[in-house]
């Protein structure tokens, strides 16, 4: 069986779908459905079983047969709110839980592919998988970085696969439950539907209005990277998962407006609470990913947003 933690979440549910599309009918979702709205992400997926995240840990520790039957664990579960400042909760949920799964996988030689984040780089100008470029701006980014550090220390010479994927700005279907943490494409689409305008932040950190740049990556491409590592169990390490090309928020807004064939952009003041804790530029360096042999092609914003809105709103333009 394949275990996907956070399997009712955004990236996790898309990964579950990708595994099922491959013909795997033994996919188990692990999540926390305290927010029951997330059920819609897995309602259409023929999973083998669902387990609460705490029950899953109990079964791992008490049921050896369950452990030996796992072909791989895709650990996508985490608190991904970059605005959450409860560090105790963040470290328990994102760091300690990840450690427990890591050691189970190492002990049982189970491939372990987990979600890291580009948030580990903070305000860096280069995004290379090296401690020299790491410096998170929030406790979420720190929780991800500290686990990457732990992996480097305890799993450097592991007998089984351990892969960390530093996701950049992922967007795509099945993210509607994320609220304020959903992608800019999701929010801009809702704004255009509601009142015909896409709202972006005014300039900051030396960038013009809407000209802040991020590496926006479509969720299907992220899933393809995960599956590439599943197919290549001899490859381990920590890798960036982005397009390798920064694009502006204006690019995203214009792609949304182009899909709808209407609307305009309006710039709003940059929020005070984000000053000093905001990445105005991200761009994945893909050197190490390509050197590992991963040949997944990443679609640009113009193509990804179209693919997204085709699914989200239907194939007929408004």
Q: Which residues are catalytic?
A: 140, 178
Sign of torsion over alpha carbons 135, 141, 147, 151? negative
| 120 CB burial (10 A radius; 0-12, 13-18, 19+) | buried
Collect all residues with Cβ–Cβ distance below 8 Å to 200 and sequence separation of at least 6. Answer: 188, 209, 210, 249, 250, 253, 265, 266, 267, 268
Residues 6+ apart with CB under 8 A from 192: 198, 256, 257, 260, 262, 263
3-state secondary structure of 116: strand
| CB of 235 closer than 8 Å to CB of 225 | no
CA distance 116 to 174: 19
Burial 144-155 (b: 16+ CB within 10 A, else e): bbbbbeebeeeb
Give residue 202's Cα distance to chain centre. Answer: 26
Q: Give the relative orientation of helices 184-195 and 249-260 as an angle to the nearest 10 degrees.
A: 40
Assign 286 to helix, strand or coil: coil
Paired strand residues for 164: 114, 238
- How crowded is residue 38: how many other Cβ atoms within 10 Å of its Cβ? 23
């Amino acid at each position: 069986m394949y275990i996907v933690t956070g399997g009712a979440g955004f990236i996790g549910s898309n990964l579950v779908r990708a595994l099922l599309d491959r013909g795997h009918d033994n996919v188990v979702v692990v999540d926390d459905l305290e927010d029951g709205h997330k059920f819609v992400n897995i309602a259409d997926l023929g999973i083998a079983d669902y387990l609460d995240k705490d029950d899953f840990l109990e079964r791992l520790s008490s049921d050896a047969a369950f452990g030996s039957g796992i072909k791989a664990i895709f650990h996508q579960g985490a608190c991904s709110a970059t605005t959450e400042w409860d560090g105790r909760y963040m470290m328990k949920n994102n760091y300690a839980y990840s450690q427990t799964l890591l050691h189970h996988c190492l002990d049982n030689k189970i491939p372990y592919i987990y979600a890291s984040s580009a948030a580990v780089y903070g305000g860096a100008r280069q995004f290379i998988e090296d401690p020299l470029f790491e410096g998170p701006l929030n406790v979420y980014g720190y929780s991800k970085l500290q686990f990457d550090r732990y992996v480097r220390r305890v799993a450097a010479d592991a007998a089984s696969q351990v892969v960390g994927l530093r996701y950049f700005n992922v967007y795509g279907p099945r993210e509607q439950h994320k609220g304020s943490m959903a992608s800019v494409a999701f929010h801009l689409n809702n704004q255009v539907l509601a009142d015909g305008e896409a709202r972006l932040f005014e300039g900051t950190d030396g960038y013009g209005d809407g000209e802040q740049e991020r590496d926006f990556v479509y969720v299907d491409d992220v899933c393809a990277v995960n599956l590439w590592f599943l197919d290549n169990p001899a490859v381990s390490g920590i890798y960036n998962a982005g397009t390798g090309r920064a694009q502006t928020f204006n690019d995203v807004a214009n792609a949304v407006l182009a899909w709808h064939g209407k609307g305009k952009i309006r710039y709003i003041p940059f929020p005070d609470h984000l000053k000093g804790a905001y990445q105005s530029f991200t761009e994945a360096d893909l050197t190490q990913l390509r050197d590992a042999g991963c040949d997944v092609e990443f679609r640009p914003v113009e193509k990804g947003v179209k693919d997204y809105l085709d699914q989200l709103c239907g194939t007929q333009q408004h």
